[in-house]
Amino acid sequence: MRAVVIDRFGGPEVLTVRTLPVPETKPDQILIQVKSAGVGIWDQLEREGAMANLYKIQTRFPVVLGSEGAGKIVDVGEKVSGFQNGDSIYGFIWQRNPKAGFHAQYAAVNAEQAWRIPSNLTLEQASALVIGGATALKGLDDILHLKPDEKLIIVGASGTVGHLAVQFATRMGAHVFAVASQDDGVALAERLGAKGVVEGHTGDVALSAREYAPDGFDAAFLTVGGEPAEKALTAMAEGGRVAHPVGVKPPKIPSNVKLLPPYIVNKDPENMDRGLMDRLNKLIEAGPFQVHLDEIFSLDRIVDAHHALGSHHVGRLVLRPAN
């Protein structure tokens, strides 16, 4: 099979595409023919060695990148039940050593880390759902404990996590105000259900937020920090809650606002919480939902995909291995 491989840590220049054996299917795994896979900032961090430092792993090379993806099952391990050949699934592969991820034509996925694709998503959309979706829902539901009719401000509302958070929060009954990036980001946030939107760099974030919520926001979800976030938080109500995942540096927080501890979406370095994913799938199935795909890359354009991670885009980037 063809796969994206690194033999050392470094910049995009360490990414190569070459032929490797198809992974063996262990008894508790399913083998999928990968049709699409997400490309995210975590892939860059893994390529650079930051993930190995975070988890204190002595990485064994070669490494096949790709932590989330989707495809059709072509082999089922002897201990697996509930799946069969031909099923379409999406899944999660995080810390294995050596890692054999989704940026390849085939991937062996632990059956406990695979889910059937919600009926209202395409396979390509599902391939870029796990990490951003779980991060968004955990922040809103488990950390902020968002309630119906609360006013919520989302900073970074057109990005990987933010554009999914807009939809989850709206479905949970909150009134969402979005701080998005550039005109296409503003348009995306509006289309996905935000009732108020402002461009984070050229708009008057503080004024727009106060006009939307004169009595202040009950909660804020930060997927990015910086000046837009600092201005947004000036519109918080007394005792308002602020949540952000690990990796987002919060700005100066007003004294009347409660900054909740940063959270990591998967405390287990090998597994995503199935209870969280079950809630996520149920929420998605409740009505129209979109994982916005900004650009789709072929396997041979993996270097371009990693460069694109550092430039403006909305929603997600995905890789489509040729089979």
- 72 and 18 both lie in a single domain: yes
pLDDT tens-place string over residues 156-215: 999 999 999 999 999 999 999 999 999 999 999 999 999 999 999 999 999 999 999 999
* CA 237 to chain CA mean position, Å: 28
- 30 and 99 both lie in a single domain: yes
Whether residue 244 contacts residue 221, with contact meaning beta carbons closer than 8 Å, is answered with yes
Domain end, chosen from 209, 243, 259, is at 259
Burial class (CB in 10 A: 0-12, 13-18, 19+), 296: middle
With respect to residue 269, please indicate whether it lies within any of the assigned structural domains.
no
pLDDT tens-place string over residues 241-263: 999 999 999 999 999 999 999 99
Share of the chain above pLDDT 70, in %: 100
What is each CA distance from 128 to 66, 134, 174, 275, in whole angstroms? 10, 11, 24, 19
- 146 and 255 both lie in a single domain: yes
- 19 and 72 both lie in a single domain: yes
What is each CA distance from 188 to 90, 131, 183, in whole angstroms? 24, 20, 9
With respect to residue 50, please indicate whether it lies within any of the assigned structural domains.
yes
| HSE-up of residue 202 (Cα within 13 Å, Cβ side) | 6
pLDDT of residue 323: 59
With respect to residue 203, please indicate whether it lies within any of the assigned structural domains.
yes
Structure token digits, residue 269: 């370095």
Expressed in percent and rounded to 5, the helix, strand and coil fractions of the chain are 30, 30, 40
Domain of 199, in residue numbers: 132-259
Domain count, the chain: 2
How would residue 270 be classed by pLDDT, with cut points 50, 70 and 90? confident
How would residue 301 be classed by pLDDT, with cut points 50, 70 and 90? very high
pLDDT at 70 over 80: yes
With respect to residue 271, please indicate whether it lies within any of the assigned structural domains.
no
Domain end, chosen from 259, 279, 301, is at 259
- 124 and 151 both lie in a single domain: no
Nearest one of 316, 315, 291 to 181, comparing CA atoms: 315
Average pLDDT (259-287) is 94
Whether residue 301 contacts residue 154, with contact meaning beta carbons closer than 8 Å, is answered with no
Which residues are CB-contacts of 165 (< 8 A; sequence separation ≥ 6)? Answer: 136, 139, 140, 154, 157, 221, 223
- 104 and 211 both lie in a single domain: no
- 148 and 123 both lie in a single domain: no
With respect to residue 172, please indicate whether it lies within any of the assigned structural domains.
yes
Distance between CA 88 and CA 70 in Å, rounded? 7
Whether residue 16 contacts residue 53, with contact meaning beta carbons closer than 8 Å, is answered with no
β-strands 236-243, 217-222 pairing: parallel
Structure token digits, residue 261: 């501890």
pLDDT of residue 81: 97
Strand ranges for 160-235 from DSSP E: 175-180, 196-199, 217-222
Distance between CA 1 and CA 8 in Å, rounded? 21
User: Locate tokens 């889910």: which residue?
Assistant: 115
- 124 and 139 both lie in a single domain: no
- 143 and 120 both lie in a single domain: no
Q: Which amino acid is at 168?
A: F
- 148 and 93 both lie in a single domain: no
Domain end, chosen from 236, 259, 282, is at 259
- 145 and 243 both lie in a single domain: yes
Average pLDDT (59-82) is 97
With respect to residue 83, please indicate whether it lies within any of the assigned structural domains.
yes
How would residue 63 be classed by pLDDT, with cut points 50, 70 and 90? very high
β-strands 63-64, 16-19 pairing: unpaired
With respect to residue 283, please indicate whether it lies within any of the assigned structural domains.
no
pLDDT tens-place string over residues 84-116: 999 999 999 998 889 999 999 999 999 999 999
* Domain at 206, CATH number: 3.90.180.10
- 207 and 116 both lie in a single domain: no
With respect to residue 226, please indicate whether it lies within any of the assigned structural domains.
yes
